[in-house]
Structure 1
Amino acid sequence: MEQQSLTMVILNGKGAGNDVLRAAIGTLRQEGFPIEVRVTWEHGDGERYLNEAIERGAATVVAGGGDGTINEIASALAKRPPSHRPVLGVLPLGTANDFATSAGIPEEMEPALRLAIVGKAVDIDLARVNHDHYFINMATGGFGTRITTETPEKLKSALGGVSYIIHGLMRMDTLKADRCEINGPDFAWQGDALVIGIGNGRQAGGGQRLCPSALINDGKLELSIVTSQELLPTLLHSITRDDENPNIEAASLPWLTIHAPHPMTFNLDGEPLSGTDFRIEVIPNALSCRLPPSCALLA
């Protein structure tokens, strides 16, 4: 059997005790795949382990966790020159796993790990915000961001992605729009936005398909602006249907700018970023990622 290249699995600390994953790693090691595991404990660990993986000559780095963990590893990869950039694999171990779900990555550990190691690598886009922040899946602003950042950990652990919707229903009294101005190539909008979704992927917040047409290799970002005061029907529409929603302004853009008179917070794959001015641009073919052959996010 030919010598297989090293795979480094970088696990979020919350997933380190997953016995099913441990068994899956054991199975693939027995098949001859050299796999090493590192567990993150504090901010910066992901990038440090990625640097170690590159020094060790790893062909693949697998991000094991939720959207935040995938974001951390993808962001670190984007900062490396292409010649020193391993392929990204994804193990869905988070609460919502919005990116993995949209991409069709298996929920079961062994098929997901096998895909991450031997699946076909494809080039995908990444989004960059204000020159040094990134997201692989989606940036959300407005009421949706407040809900995803405020949802209690215990509720997320008990109910998974549905917890965001339940917590949102509990907080409808705090509903408040953000006044802002959004511009891009042949696009200009200003007004009050309840929710803003900027999608490289299609869903956020535990299954809300804010950008149902987004593709991760088309050189574009999908913009969705929820303008209706009827937020609940609008969000239920986005969860259950893919047809055009009259309460959503939509556009497909390679870049856009957002200006607000008061600070806004955007959630970049789970990482909050606040300010009054944002420039968000797509970086085509920024990473190589192992995805299912029938991945719906690929053009």
Structure 2
Amino acid sequence: MDKNATSFIIVNGKGAGNDALRAAVSKLRDEGHSIAVRVTWERGDAGRYVNEALAQDAQTVIAGGGDGTINEIATALALASVEKRPALGILPLGTANDFAASAGIPQEIDPALRLAIAGRACPVDLARVNDNAWFINMATGGFGPRITSETPEKLKAALGSISYFIHGMLRLDTLKPDRCDIRGENFHWQGEALAIGIGNGRQAGGGQALCPQALIDDGLLQLRIFTGEELLPALFNTLTRSDENPNAIDSESAWFEITSPHDIIFNLDGEPLSGRKFRIDVEPGALSCRLPPGCPLLSVR
């Protein structure tokens, strides 16, 4: 790899004071790597920094944060021209780090940063939602997004991914299934959905493998619907034993359409999107992402 090629690290503001990250960046700079660091303060910063990286012909843009930070940066990269689009690197600094964990990216900062800068760049798919939103990992609907979006930041900071389960148990009185109609290639289902996962990646909500067979380079999205009337056992099964849930319905398609007679919320890698109709299309090979050897999310490892 050309050490003179600039890598941009865009760090979520919550991780700005990370001493281990500062030490890892200094070490790589001492080895001759050109690394620029930018810290987000408010919404839109990541997109502006991606544009700055494009203007400087950066070879890699590294998302330093959780799934929401990866989503924001991946979206900005997807909007850039193919000719100038740098590779995406991932530095897991969030609470759950679902995409990084399922991709086999090291949780330790030093090896993760080295992978993000010098790892093999692999073509990966993105999913486009209603023409103006994207996700790289997963769209989740039902009680999962409501739990995720409502879990207090202090609880997440103190307990990590288990905080989602605890908060869900505390909010059982407000959680109701969503009435919806879901269509895909050779697939149609209508009914009451307690939870919906549409996966380019495999897990969400702090380690829950909602779409355990998903691959990010096969041009397909995986669907899993959890149905049922008894909310407490469904919540327990979905959050702890999702692969064994007797009320799970699975499908795969290059697209899905979801309609509902009432507003529902889909969580796109941590970013909520509300509406009554969603069209989700996979965009094959939309980005290059630096991933570890043997990455379980790739069809060719």
TM-score interval, normalised by the smaller of the two chains: over 0.9
* AA in 1 matched with 2:19: D
* Counterpart residue number, 2:291: 291
* Counterpart residue number, 2:190: 190
1:66 Cα deviation after fit: 0.6
* Counterpart residue number, 2:219: 219
1:208 Cα deviation after fit: 1.2
* Counterpart residue number, 2:181: 181
Q: Distance in 2 between matches of 1:239 and 1:149?
A: 16
1:175 Cα deviation after fit: 2.5
Trace 1:100-119 onto structure 2 (pairs within 5 A): 100-119=100-119
| Alignment gaps of 5+ in structure 1 | none
Trace 1:74-153 onto structure 2 (pairs within 5 A): 74-153=74-153
1:171 Cα deviation after fit: 1.2
* Counterpart residue number, 1:36: 36
In structure 2, do the counterparts of structure 1 residues 49 and 162 end up closer, same or farther at CA, with 3 Å as the change threshold? Answer: same
The superposition leaves residues 185-229 of structure 1 with CA deviations (integer Å, 9 ceiling, x where unpaired) of 110000000101111111111111111111111101111111023
Contact 2:209 2:243 in 1 (8 A): no
Match of 1:94, SS? coil
> Identity across aligned pairs (percent)?
66
Q: Distance in 2 between matches of 1:209 and 1:3?
A: 37
| Alignment gaps of 5+ in structure 2 | none
Q: Distance in 1 between matches of 2:168 and 2:261?
A: 25
In structure 2, do the counterparts of structure 1 residues 75 and 116 end up closer, same or farther at CA, with 3 Å as the change threshold? Answer: same
The superposition leaves residues 145-191 of structure 1 with CA deviations (integer Å, 9 ceiling, x where unpaired) of 11000000110000111100111111122221100100111100000
Contact 2:6 2:59 in 1 (8 A): yes
Q: Distance in 1 between matches of 2:296 and 2:183?
A: 28
* AA in 2 matched with 1:135: F
* AA in 1 matched with 2:151: T
Q: Distance in 1 between matches of 2:97 and 2:241?
A: 20
* AA in 2 matched with 1:253: S
In structure 2, do the counterparts of structure 1 residues 231 and 105 end up closer, same or farther at CA, with 3 Å as the change threshold? Answer: farther
* Counterpart residue number, 1:159: 159
Match of 2:32, SS? coil
Q: Distance in 2 between matches of 1:156 and 1:87?
A: 30
1:79 Cα deviation after fit: 0.7
Q: Distance in 2 between matches of 1:168 and 1:176?
A: 12
**TM-score, structure 2 normalization:** 0.96
* AA in 1 matched with 2:290: R
Contact 1:7 1:36 in 2 (8 A): yes
* AA in 2 matched with 1:191: G
In structure 2, do the counterparts of structure 1 residues 242 and 267 end up closer, same or farther at CA, with 3 Å as the change threshold? Answer: closer
Contact 2:257 2:279 in 1 (8 A): yes
Q: Distance in 2 between matches of 1:242 and 1:191?
A: 19
* Counterpart residue number, 1:22: 22
* AA in 2 matched with 1:291: L
* Counterpart residue number, 1:262: 262
In structure 2, do the counterparts of structure 1 residues 121 and 68 end up closer, same or farther at CA, with 3 Å as the change threshold? Answer: same
Contact 1:208 1:235 in 2 (8 A): no
1:242 Cα deviation after fit: 7.4
Match of 1:194, SS? strand
Contact 1:209 1:238 in 2 (8 A): no
1:250 Cα deviation after fit: 0.7
1:134 Cα deviation after fit: 0.2
Match of 1:294, SS? coil
* AA in 2 matched with 1:105: I
In structure 2, do the counterparts of structure 1 residues 247 and 40 end up closer, same or farther at CA, with 3 Å as the change threshold? Answer: same
- Count how many residue pairs are aligned between Structure 1 and Structure 2: 299
* Counterpart residue number, 1:171: 171
Q: Distance in 2 between matches of 1:238 and 1:191?
A: 18
* AA in 1 matched with 2:209: R
1:231 Cα deviation after fit: 4.6
Contact 1:208 1:239 in 2 (8 A): yes
* Counterpart residue number, 2:250: 250
**TM-score, structure 1 normalization:** 0.96
* AA in 1 matched with 2:87: V
In structure 2, do the counterparts of structure 1 residues 208 and 41 end up closer, same or farther at CA, with 3 Å as the change threshold? Answer: same
Q: Distance in 2 between matches of 1:263 and 1:219?
A: 29
* AA in 2 matched with 1:25: V
CA RMSD of aligned residues (A): 1.5
* Counterpart residue number, 1:7: 7
Q: Distance in 1 between matches of 2:36 and 2:182?
A: 45
* Counterpart residue number, 2:71: 71
